[in-house]
Structures are given as structure tokens and as C-alpha cells.
Structure 1
């Protein structure tokens, strides 16, 4: 796979997708975007725009709502919320060729978590995320590279995104190998101005992100609090610490290492500022919440190793209730 001339597609033009599209296209890469509706019209007319810590980045992209029209791609970033994964993986099928690399940029426990892994849970299906195995059938394991994205971005308008924090992506082969294609893609992303690292055990980074998501996202829906409030308010931080302790026990039981001590973790969370989590933004907009991957899949992995997560389970139940209440109000 050659770095120069690589055919790159961003499937999903939300905040993270547009951030990647803007940075990659502005660095001179030829970027296609699979989008629809108002966002598609905006991308075709005005291109993509990102405002971040380094200024404003505008670039033209080849936007379409047809995977067939975009044609075969060498690298596809799947940037969508978990509830839409099956649909978008079905859509990208015409873009796949034998050596296409697919990088799912999603939150929570990935459907492929036990693929390429060793031990007694090897090839176990994560039922909360992939109940019938459809995701695994759509994207065979050899196409996959795992990713953990630490990008905080907000969609200001169709095709226009703002980010006030540094960008970081950590990549890893799902079989823990440091391969040539992994390094090529890491370098490609790095050259666009996004910090990119290659990991020989991407599951460590997945659990770090899960810990951040699970200690903040559901609780933000229940409390309507910002990240700064969740991690620093004396009324909330003890609850956050209980969830943190439960998550790291499950991570350790599955062989992962989280390198933050609790106090540093809380300080980093508070340092994100008065930012609403993506789950709270989805809740306010009446969109489906990513509770299956961020929450219920973690409970599933906990059950596999005989662990209970009572505080996490209770917060998830409250979040489920509020989301269901909002759905009922919208349907009325």
C-alpha cells in the first residue's frame, strides 16, 4: 500500500469525520466523503471546514451519497455512532477491495474486540454490539485496524466543525502486530497535523477511552453536567470514582493496562473544560444513545469474568430511563 496516491474515504460526515476529512484534505491528500442530506449539499458546494487550535482549515472533498460512485478505496475511516454501524458498513461494501483497510472510529467496546485475540475468549462475539454477527460478516478481520480517537469536536453547521483541544489518534492492528501498513497509515495521519501513534496492544487504549466515556457520558445525560463539572464537582466526583474503580477492574481482568492513576484521571477530565459530552448532545437532539457499546458491552465483558458493576449498572439504568422518556415524548 503506497502512501502517495492512496484513495481515502471518510464514511460519515459528523464532527469527527469532518475533522479527519479537513485535516487530510488540507494536507494534500485526495479525500472522498460518504455523506447525505444537507451535509452532502454543503460539502459539494463549500468543501469541509475545521476550526481548531491551529486556525481554520478549508479544503475541497469529493462528496457523494453513493459508494458505487466513489469507487474502490484503499483506506476507509468509518466515522459514525454505533447505532448506525450496520447500515454504514453495508453501504461501503462497493468500496472494498482485497487490500482495503477499514478503520472504525467508534466509541466503546468494538465488535471485533475478541477477534485476533488469544486466550479463552478468542473470537467471542460481543453481543451487545454485534448481536447476530452481522458486523463481523460485513468487514472480515483482515481489513481492520483498530483506532482510539481523542478528538473533541463540535459540529457548528453542515460540513463545519470546531475543536478546542489537541487531536490524537492511536492505531493498532487487532492481532497486536506492528505492521508496515500500520506505520504507513500512522505517518499519513501524522502528516496531516494530527498526532498519531502506533500501538502493539490497542486494547489498552480502548479501555482508557472506555473509562473516559463510561465515567462521563451516561452521567452527563442524568445530570446535564459538563466534563469539568462531572470530574470536579464534589457532589459528582465520588460517583465518578466508583465507576472508574469498577471499569478498571474489568479492564485488568481482560489483560488491559490503564496507565492513569485516579487523581490524574480526574484532573485530566476536569481540564477538558465546560464541554458537553457527545452523548448529552445526542440526548438533547433526541438521537439514539451509544449505550450499547459504551455501557452494556462493558457489563457483558464484566459478566464474562464474574465481576459485578453495581454503580455503573445503576447509572446506565437511569440513563436508559431518561432516553426512553424522551423518545416517548417525541413520539407523542
Structure 2
């Protein structure tokens, strides 16, 4: 199995290292000091499950790699539309694209069935720009339940979780999903093939859609948001509105809001990725987390007043931080 990791940051390099350890032909695409360190020393993974080093091929030129069986996207979703020149050399007729993104993916309604089948979500696929680069039929969905961070160039700190749920948009258990699952498991990761992967998407989104924007607006950690009565109530309301949209689209999360809040509180003084991006002056990834759900609420006729309010304020924050 030949795999290219496009955007070999904390999650991408971790997955690439695991697949390399399992014997896959892995190629990591990165840049800067991180790339230089991986070229020199490989990827060092520091984990409670055991440290290891993977000396996979690393490059900033996908043209060196050629067509692969799987492209694992470790990029932020807001950069997908611009990744055409990077991904094109990696594709052959049957290359699958595994997008390890948060939020609502561009392929969400591809082979969905029902009245929304084939619908394009403008906020995540504006004017079809993402679909033009990443054809939905190539997509294998992936929901990440692993926490990693770059401790330094070429060094990935694995904090917790090893589950990468994968699934086809049409809910089939495909040969390519089974092959990917087998390779990931051989590398020490959990990789169930989930026909109802959209349920997993909404489960993870339940936290991202609420904690991420509020953390950026309040400059607060997970613990601080949960312990403050006002923000906790806002987050709970955002979750309820999100569940209402999910239910209208036929998805069930299967976890209570109280359980989700209790789990978040246990995380402690963790800063969400959105807050970290704000502090580092990076673009805020809000479209796939919040804007998309507001758009889906409009499409399905679900009232989401709190989501709309937080979206409006967060959107202004994103515009001001990008100025």
C-alpha cells in the first residue's frame, strides 16, 4: 500500500508514522524546519503507548512521490480548495482521499440518498471549488479521536486516543475502507469501518461547534468554559440546536449533552485548536464547524438562534484577526 500524507503535521505525521511502522510505503509532505527534521531524523513519536521513530520518505514536492493508493489529508479544511497543484501528482484513477477533518465535510451529501442527495454545501464547498480539486467519489470519510501535538520539528507528542473511524459516503463497507482499516490497525491504531459515519461526524462536531468558537471569543480553556455558568449554558444550548439539525438529517449521536460536558471538563486547561490558531495569527477554521451547520439549519428549516448569534460574532472575530 502506497500512502501520501499531504500536510504531515501532528495528526498527519502520527498516522504516517504508524502506517510506516506497519510496512506501508509512506511519503510525508511538509515544509520548513519540520520537513528538515523528518528528513534528517525521521518522525519521532512520543506516546504513553511507547515511543518509536519512523523513517518515512519526507518531501515538499509531491511530484517526487507519484500516484498513490491513499492520500491522507492532514490539512485544515479551509485550505482544500487551494491544494490542487499538490494533490494532482498523487492521483491515479482509483486513488482514495482520506480527509481527517473536523466539522462538515465537502462530500457530506454525496450518495447520501433522500431529498438532499448530491446537495452542495456552499460554506464548505464554495462554488464547487473543493469538489473540483477533491472529487467526492474519491472521498473516504475519517473522524479522528486522537489528540496529538507537535512538540518540536519532527517530534509528535501523542496525548491520548488512537481511533480513526472511516467510512464511505454511500454507507457501503468497501474494499478500500477494509484495506485502510487493516493497515491502520497493523500500525497500532483503532480504525473501525463505520457505515453510519455521519453519526460520528455529528458526535465530534457537538464539541467542536460549541467549545471552539466560544474558546476563541472568551480566550478560555475547556475547564474554564465548563465551570463558568454563563458559557456552560450557552454551550449546552448550542449543542441542543446542533442535535436538532442532525436529527432532521437522520443522524443520532447517542451521547447525552451532560456526558459530553462532563468529558470536556475532565480535559482540564486545554486550549482548543481555534484558540491556538487565533493566538498564532492563523486563519480560524469556522466554516466547517459553525457556518456549515447554520447553512444546514436554513436548508432543513430548523431554528438555531444561539448558533446564529455565536456565528455572527465569531465571523467578525475571524475577519478582524485576518486583517
Choose 225-234 or 88-97, whichever is displaced more. Answer: 225-234
Counterpart of 1:243?
238
- Following superposition, the deviation at residue 28 of structure 1 comes to 3.1
Give aligned pairs, total.
Answer: 323
Cα deviation per residue 1:198-225 (whole Å; 9 max; x = unaligned)? Answer: 1111111111111110021001101122
Q: Does 2:37 correspond to 1:20?
A: no
Aligned match for 1:118, one of 113, 118, 139: 113
Counterpart of 1:69?
64
Counterpart of 2:265?
270
- Following superposition, the deviation at residue 36 of structure 1 comes to 1.8
> Helix, strand or coil for the counterpart of 2:229?
coil
Contact 1:82 1:106 in 2 (8 A): yes
Cα deviation per residue 1:109-137 (whole Å; 9 max; x = unaligned)? Answer: 10111111111111111100111112212
Q: Which structure 2 residue ranges, 5 or more long, are not aligned?
A: none
> Helix, strand or coil for the counterpart of 2:102?
coil
Counterpart of 1:212?
207
Contact 1:75 1:102 in 2 (8 A): yes
Choose 268-277 or 191-200, whichever is displaced more. Answer: 268-277
- Show the 5 A alignment for 1:313-324: 313-324=308-319
Contact 1:49 1:59 in 2 (8 A): yes
Distance 1:230 1:193 in 2: 34
Contact 2:37 2:153 in 1 (8 A): yes
Contact 1:18 1:49 in 2 (8 A): no
Choose 127-136 or 19-28, whichever is displaced more. Answer: 19-28
- Show the 5 A alignment for 1:178-197: 178-197=173-192
Counterpart of 1:224?
219
Distance 1:59 1:118 in 2: 41
The TM-score, its normalising length taken from structure 1, stands at 0.93
- Following superposition, the deviation at residue 98 of structure 1 comes to 1.4
Aligned match for 1:144, one of 139, 146, 151: 139
Aligned match for 1:80, one of 66, 69, 75: 75
> Helix, strand or coil for the counterpart of 1:150?
strand
| RMSD of aligned residue pairs (Cα, Å) | 1.5
Aligned match for 2:294, one of 299, 324, 327: 299
> Helix, strand or coil for the counterpart of 1:197?
coil
Counterpart of 1:40?
35
Counterpart of 1:99?
94
